[in-house]
Amino acid sequence: MKFLKKSDPVLAKLFGKVQPSVLRPSKNYFESLTDAIISQQLSGKAAATIFKRFQGLFPGNKFPTPAQVLAKSDIELRTVGVSGSKASYIKNIAAGFEDGSLDFKHINKKTDEEIVEMLVKVKGIGKWTAEMFLIFSLGRPDVFSFGDLGLRNGVKKVYGLRKDPSPAKLKQLSAKWQPYRTCASLYLWASLDNK
């Protein structure tokens, strides 16, 4: 926070005014990616409901394994509110875990770019989903998702811009926050909840 206070006084005005989310990185990467797919383009409440129903398709209190998910038909997945395309994407992820194309053994030795590159090879995982995985599942410290609408709206609000920030403006601002762009992102998202 000291670094961000010094490098960007405008962003620093948020400190103490808003409460950002606390990162709780997950070790169940299959669950995290499944949750990310289910959450795409849904409100948090709707996504949480569907995610809970999805888990209810499987016995026990643990999140299902990739093999268990692959054993379900798309129709079964759709009965709990997962769209046809999302059912397909979740199965693509499960297949990646099963066949080893999604290899997380040495994840801590991989760069953010290497992880994004690995993830976007799976149909259904785009750059935004991969970046959210870096932030919320791995707790990587220097991630800023230029394609995230919430971050663009946060920048617009915090910096008093009349128009949406251009990619060049986002790049210029986020350069000030390196190597702590994740922290800046959390504050920008929180600023949107603070009227």
Q: Which residues are catalytic?
A: 148
Neighbours of 47 (CB within 10 A): 18
Q: Is 155 helix (H, G, I), strand (E, B) or coil?
A: helix
Classify residue 62 by its DSSP letter.
S
CA distance 83 to 172: 38
Burial of 96 (0-12, 13-18, 19+ CB in 10 A): buried
CA distance linking residue 90 with residue 21, whole number of Å:
26
Q: Are 184 and 155 contacting, i.e. CB atoms less than 8 angstroms apart?
A: no
- Spell out where 77-161 has E strands: none
SS3 label, residue 15: strand
Amino acid (one-letter) located at 9: P
Q: What is the DSSP string of 168-193?
A: HHHHHHHHHHTT-HHHHHHHHHHHHH
